[in-house]
Amino acid sequence: MIQKQQLSLLNRADEACDLLRSHIDQQHVVRIISHNDADGLTSAGIFANAIQKAGGKFHITILPRLRDSNVKDLTKSRYKLFIFSDMGSGNLESISKLSGDVIIADHHQFPDEVDPEMQVDYKKIVHVNPHIFNIDGTKEVSGSGLSYLSVHDYEYYELAGLALTGACGDMQLKNGPTGINKLILDEAVEHETMTVKDELKLAYSNTQPLNKAITYTYTPVLEGLSGFMDKSNEFLEKHNIPKDKLLHQLTPEEYETLKNELTSINENIYGKTYTIRNIRRELTNVEEYSSLLNACGKNKEYTAAISIELGKYNQMEFAQSLLTKYSSNMQNGIEWIKREGSVQEENIQYIYTEDKEHKQVAAAVSSIGIELGILPDKPILSLMKMDNLIKVSSRTTDNMVEKGVNLGVIMNQASKNFNGIGGGHNIAAGATIPADQKDNFIHLVDEMVDYQLNN
Ligand SMILES: [Mn+2]
């Protein structure tokens, strides 16, 4: 059933689609600007696919963050339609100065002082953001979902897979899709472009042999196996399951044994998986697909990501190699955490690195470390040195959020204190600060967490 607020959001997205259609009809090249993570890459991919299918042309730029200066650079260009996806809601003021029409498909919170319905006389701005309609943009819809809604009128239901892949990349499917994500999935199942089935939820199971797939599985954690290649090998050997096979290559008996043994370690390892139909096997599982795109994004290989989304597979092997490299980086990162642990403050903990490969995975590894029980359940900062700046990524658990921790608020306020910038969600947030303020920043964050826990 569609709720009233959801209907308002869908109507807004339909306005975006009408605007897009009118520009495609006039043969205008559409300028797409999107984010460099899996959600942003699928957002761009959805618009690109839709425009291509509708006979139009586009030009994509992928950015790690949208700065007002990026928007300003675009004011010189003569495009008639700009699309900002998975970003843009925080830059409405500068976006309103662009000469062409604008579609913003973003699920991030916009600043309080901004009017999300801002309009300018000489052009159209269609702002598709769930927060305008009091819909939770953290859990119920991602940038890719909003992009999908913004091309929905074209009825390209095969693009729903990208929408769910982006939502997965933004961790919105952890407890199954809800809200708009659920609407998109249900409709895709109805149109037979996606299926939901119960499966072993092993990481990279369509591309990595079982011993690696088991070792690399952290959601959920398989205690004693996740992160331990030697233990995973032993486990498979003991149960007579060939470690070099892919999951789908197992005989029914082997699969049954594996399922029984793994569910006895963690029953959540068997459950709902979301599958895209009529696509290469490597891309069928939304989680695996989002990891692949994420690996492309982390390596700034945006062309590889977008071309794969468009169904051109000449860079597929290359992208796969990036994912393999990324997952072994993750593995090394876990080893690093196991070896060195984190530095303990009273209410928080932190890890610090200057190593290029550790930087890529520090944030992910920090939360896995807590889940594996290697690190204590305290909010964790990953500090990554970049020249004279430090990039901070902070993560915590549902448990700590329930106790009052809100990292988004802390990263925002603490970074401002040292002339940095920051913000995000209660459970995961980030900041950038001057490198020489590292210790002061850690100390302040520690105090702020203390305050949130005790007030
Ligand atoms: Mn996003």
Question: What is the Å distance from ligand 1's center to 40 Cα?
Answer: 6
Phi, psi for 153 (deg, rounded to 5): -60, -25
> DSSP secondary-structure letter at 436?
G
How much is the pTM? 0.90
In 170-309, where does DSSP find H-type helix? 179-190, 210-215, 229-238, 252-265, 286-298, 302-309
Give all strands of the β-sheet with 421-424 in edge-to-edge order: 343-344, 349-353, 380-386, 389-395, 428-434, 421-424
Nearest Cα to Cα of residue 143 among 93, 97, 108: 108
Gap from CA of 4 to ligand 1 centroid (Å): 24
Q: What does the longest C-alpha to C-alpha distance in the chain come to?
A: 71
Q: How many CB atoms lie within 10 A of CB 326?
A: 21
CA of 405 relative to ligand 1 center, distance in Å: 22
- The 8-class DSSP code of residue 277 comes to S
Closest by CA position to 163, among listed 84, 249, 86: 86
CA of 359 to the centre of ligand 1 (A): 21
Distance 269 CA to ligand 1 centre (A): 26
Mean pLDDT, all residues of the chain: 95
Q: Where are the domains of the chain?
A: 4-192, 199-276+279-332, 341-454
- Residue 73: both structure tokens together: 């650079």
- One fold for 4-192 and 341-454: no
CB-neighbour burial class of residue 115 (10 A; exposed 0-12, middle 13-18, buried 19+)? exposed
How far away, in angstroms, is 265 Cα from ligand 1 center?
32
- DSSP structure class, residue 132: G
Secondary structure percentages of the chain, helix, strand, coil, to 5: 50, 15, 35
Q: Say how far apart CA 351 and CA 392 lie, in whole Å.
A: 10
- Residue 274 DSSP label: E
What's the 48 CA to ligand 1 centre distance in angstroms? 17
The CA 94 to ligand 1 mean position distance, Å, reads 21
Cα separation of 128 and 86, whole Å? 10
Which amino acid, residue 386?
Answer: M
- In contact, 30 and 59? CB cutoff 8 Å: yes
Q: How far is the CA of 306 from the centre of ligand 1 (A)?
A: 16
Nearest to 19, CA basis, from 116, 104, 137: 104
Bridging pattern class, strands 81-85 and 29-35:
parallel
Could you tell me the distance, in angstroms and rounded to a whole number, from the CA of residue 111 to the centre of ligand 1?
17
Q: Domain 4-192 belongs to what topology?
A: inorganic pyrophosphatase (n-terminal core) (3.90.1640)
Give 341-454's CATH code, choosing from 3.10.310.30, 3.30.465.10, 3.30.565.60, 3.40.1360.10: 3.10.310.30
Per-residue model confidence as pLDDT tens for the chain (455 residues)? 788 999 999 999 999 999 999 999 999 999 999 999 999 999 999 999 999 999 999 999 999 989 999 999 999 889 999 999 999 999 999 999 999 999 999 999 888 888 999 898 889 999 999 999 999 898 899 999 999 999 999 999 999 999 999 999 998 998 899 999 999 999 999 999 999 999 999 999 999 999 999 999 988 889 999 988 999 999 999 999 999 999 999 999 999 999 999 999 999 999 999 999 999 999 999 999 999 999 999 999 999 999 999 999 999 999 999 999 998 899 999 999 999 999 999 999 999 999 998 998 999 999 899 988 899 999 999 999 999 999 999 999 989 999 999 999 999 999 999 999 998 888 889 999 999 999 999 999 999 999 999 98
- Cα–Cα distance list, 74 to 19, 31, 47, 77, 147 (Å): 19, 9, 19, 5, 21
State the distance from the centre of ligand 1 to the C-alpha of 110, rounded, in angstroms.
Answer: 13
Whole-number Å distance, alpha carbon 163 to ligand 1 midpoint, is 11
3-state secondary structure of 422: strand
CA of 172 to the centre of ligand 1 (A): 10
What is the 251 CA–ligand 1 centroid distance (Å)? Answer: 38
**Residue 421 phi/psi, 5° resolution?**
-130, 155
Distance CA 12, CA 35 (A): 22
| C-alpha 107 – ligand 1 centre gap (Å) | 7
336, containing H or E segment = helix 316-340
Which residues, including other chains, have CB under 8 Å from residue 391's CB and lie 6 or more apart? Answer: 359, 383, 384, 430, 431, 432
